[in-house]
Structures are given as structure tokens and as C-alpha cells.
Amino acid sequence: MASCPVRLSLWRGVAGFSLLIASFIVFPHSPIGFVALMLGALYFFKGCPACWISGLNDAIQLKKKMAAGEKDSRPPAAPPTET
């Protein structure tokens, strides 16, 4: 299903941004917690936030191509017959 990678990428973004925000909240109290949360955010982003945005864009483009391919793969309608 084409929407699954888009949905998965969006959930990874939500998790990544949540951990990123949490890491800055935790930083004054626990530098080790900051590092752990940042590593978790990097894991969910599959790199930096720009990498996540690039992956999301790729997933959306793939979904569009698959939708266009489904439209093109249908057999053409039969021409009307004259009676």
C-alpha cells in the first residue's frame, strides 16, 4: 500500500520531534539524558531532521507515481459500437 510509507514517515517525524523537544527540556537537569534523547531523535529521523524531510518527500513522490501508474495500467475503455 502506497500510503503506508507516508504514514510511517509521519509517525517517525512525530516521535523524532517529540524526543528533540524533550531533549532540550531535560538538558539543564541531565546532560546524559539530553544525549540519550538526541540519539533517539536521530534514530527516528534516520539522521537529521532534513534527512527525515527528504525521506518524507520521497515517500510522497512514490505514492504519487504509484497512483499515476494505477491509472495508466487500466485497459482503455472500448470504443462505442455503432448499431
Q: 41-77: per-residue pLDDT in tens?
A: 999 988 888 888 888 888 888 888 887 776 655 555 6
Given a cut of 50, whether residue 17 has pLDDT beyond it is: yes
pTM of the model: 0.69
Instruction: Assess contact for 3 and 63: CB atoms under 8 A.
Output: yes
Given a cut of 60, whether residue 3 has pLDDT beyond it is: no
d(CA 39, CA 56) in angstroms, rounded, equals 20
Angle (nearest 5°) at CA 18 between 45 and 28: 110
